[in-house]
Amino acid sequence: MTLLRRTVLYVPADNGRALQKARTLAADAVIVDLEDAVAPDRKVAAREAARTALDLGKEVALRINAAGTPWHDDDVAFAREAGFGAVVVPKVRRGRELADLAARLPATLWPMMETAAGILAAAEIAEAAAATGPAALVVGLNDLAAEVGATLGADRAELSHALQQCVLAGRAARLDVIDAVMNDIADTDALVAEAKAGRALGMTGKSVIHPAQIAPVNAVFAPDEAAVAQARAIVAAMAEAEAAGRSVATLDGRLVERLHADAARRILALAEAIAERDAS
């Protein structure tokens, strides 16, 4: 089954109106945030409010506060008791942290890739996350840029190595990789450009912070009609070649091998999953 994670929407757990609205929005998945979007004096109330997100009708992950903060242990206990199936773990630095957390929290753990140490340990973090279920790596460029002292330009070239490291580690562990948020909610052109750049790197989807960001990002990460037609043609060309006892084919003068047919089938499965989601 193809898990749809083109858009992953952050919703502050203490914003009841936004949580209700998330139910009706076209984001594929939701991160209910107990961390940065919630003020310290609202952490306890936010925890209780987060319960209402358990049945949003889409994939939901609870973002807890980081290890070492005053709220972490109670967040972990709450996530376990409330029965959240997926938990986003901020500021992970080593794979061992996830493995230790998994021992006391039976949930799929989605690590945030947002510390310098975490980027350097991306492979072991991705492996530890994959051991907990169909997780995703979630990139956090606000924290990463702050820690390393980077000033990001429009193309994020200053941290492109980190983005690529996340994609390589995530894909090696067969995990989805969710690109970072764009803070400028009003600039849709820049959002689309950034989403396209992330998709070109191999990102599965992008995290978003506002309803207005959902449709443009969904569109970037959905195969368009031409891509679907091309995928169908590749699968057909490969099937014809195999029926004739050949392991390679040509299509419009280009070589087609099994890996191309496999990639084409993934595109078709994604298109089918989107069509099913849109129809429901």
Ligand X SMILES: CC(C)(COP(=O)(O)OP(=O)(O)OC[C@H]1O[C@@H](n2cnc3c(N)ncnc32)[C@H](O)[C@@H]1OP(=O)(O)O)[C@@H](O)C(=O)NCCC(=O)NCCSC(=O)C[C@H](O)C(=O)O
Residue numbers of the site for ligand X (CB under 6 A)? 9-12, 17-18, 21-22, 33, 36-37, 112, 114, 140-143, 180-181, 209-211
Annotated ligand binding at 277? The verdict is no
Q: Looking at 12, 95, 111, 140, which residue binds Mg ion (CB under 5 A)? A: 140
Least distance to ligand X, CB of residue 27, Å: 8
Annotated ligand binding at 114? The verdict is yes
Site for Mg ion contains 179 (CB under 5 A): no
Q: Which are the contacts of 127, defined by CB distance < 8 A and separation ≥ 6? A: 95, 173
Tokens, residue 35: 């961390």
Least distance to ligand X, CB of residue 38, Å: 9
Say how far apart CA 11 and CA 20 lie, in whole Å: 10
Site for Mg ion in 106-135 (CB under 5 A): 114
**Nearer to ligand X among residue 11 and residue 235 (C-beta):** 11
**Nearer to ligand X among residue 39 and residue 263 (C-beta):** 39
Residue 9 partner contact from Mg ion, ligand X, none using kind-dependent CB cut-offs of 5 to 8 Å:
ligand X
**Nearer to ligand X among residue 91 and residue 260 (C-beta):** 91
The site for Mg ion, by CB under 5 A, has a size of 3
Least distance to ligand X, CB of residue 138, Å: 8
Annotated ligand binding at 14? The verdict is no
Which parts of this chain interact with Mg ion (CB under 5 A)? 114, 140, 143
